Amino acid sequence: MEKILSIDEPKMRRDLIRASQYWAELTGADVKFISVIDESFVRDTTRTIGAVGRISSAVENDFIREREEKIDSVLKETGFEPRKGIDVKAGNPVEEIKKVMDSFTPDLTVMGSGLKAGVINITGEIIGYAKGNCFVNTKSFTTPLFKKIILTTYNPDRDKHAVEVSFNLAERFKGTIYILSVLDLNDEVMVNAPGMVDDAYANTKETLKRMVDAARERGIAVEGLLKEGRVSNVIRNLSIDIKPDIIVLGSYSRTGLNRILMGSVADSLIKKVQCPLLIVKRKLTIKDSPRPVSV
């Protein structure tokens, strides 16, 4: 049974609970919901009122109790009950979230684009740390039909799970996949090593054709796109034109710094796009999916 970790974000709580419920239905996974009250906020509050010792602990417990009540209210409203429970605690958001990720080992982590520790956005750091897949909600979540899917990948063999989940979503929702390959070539390379540029284009075009052919064999509406530029900017511009329902990112990169790079790319993207992101690092089974992808 797959597992989903849903990370609370108060301003987006209702949407994240809906997104978690939706993915639980798509995958048949069990959900654990966690909420971390930033310890700096609790500390500042206790200092302001001069609370120490047991009174300070009581203040922290009051914050936790209030948070639990608010979460419970939204869960009742949506009719959703996380089968793996709800965990509310005070602490350092980054450290506490990482601890839960290590112990729970989720197949999919659902989070918002505004996840913070203090005033610092930590969404990209959590994506980079995650060993499993990540779904990032960027706006209000209504039950979506993923009819338009942008898939960005450099290597379909290493990113086979990203390709597979994109194909399966397209088949389930009778959607269209826009397979995007981006060449990020700096001026120095283009001037001093034109042969490398030509090889990169030829290899990327061949790989892209392979993926497009595989999708068409499955009866999936597909378009292959080869663009040049910074990855996040190219995806943003394409999303403006296409208005996708979801962007799927493979986790393979040419640099070898996969986890760091994907956190960085995703962190940049969430500030530029209006649709959710799915970062695929390992197999994610969609219920009633026909068969694995071979490209």
Per-residue pLDDT for 198 more than 90?
Answer: no
Please write the tens of the pLDDT for every residue from 80-91.
Answer: 999 999 999 999
**Which residues have CB under 8 Å from 39's CB, separation 6+?**
90, 91, 92
Say if CB 215 and CB 177 are below 8 A apart.
Answer: yes
CA 23/CA 235 separation, integer angstroms: 24
Residue 155 or 273, more confident? 273
Per-residue pLDDT for 44 more than 60?
Answer: yes
Say if CB 166 and CB 265 are below 8 A apart.
Answer: no
CA 11/CA 218 separation, integer angstroms: 40
Weakest mean pLDDT among 155-159, 201-205, 222-226: 155-159
- Average per-residue pLDDT for the chain: 86
**Which residues have CB under 8 Å from 49's CB, separation 6+?**
59
The domain locations on the chain are: 3-137, 148-280
The pTM score is: 0.89
Homologous superfamily (CATH) of 3-137 is: HUPs (3.40.50.620)
Is there a shared CATH topology between the 3-137 domain and the 148-280 domain?
Answer: yes
Residue type, 150: I
Spatial CA neighbour of 114 closest among 126, 100, 132:
126
Mean pLDDT of 114-134: 91
Q: Is 76 helix (H, G, I), strand (E, B) or coil?
A: helix
Homologous superfamily (CATH) of 148-280 is: HUPs (3.40.50.620)
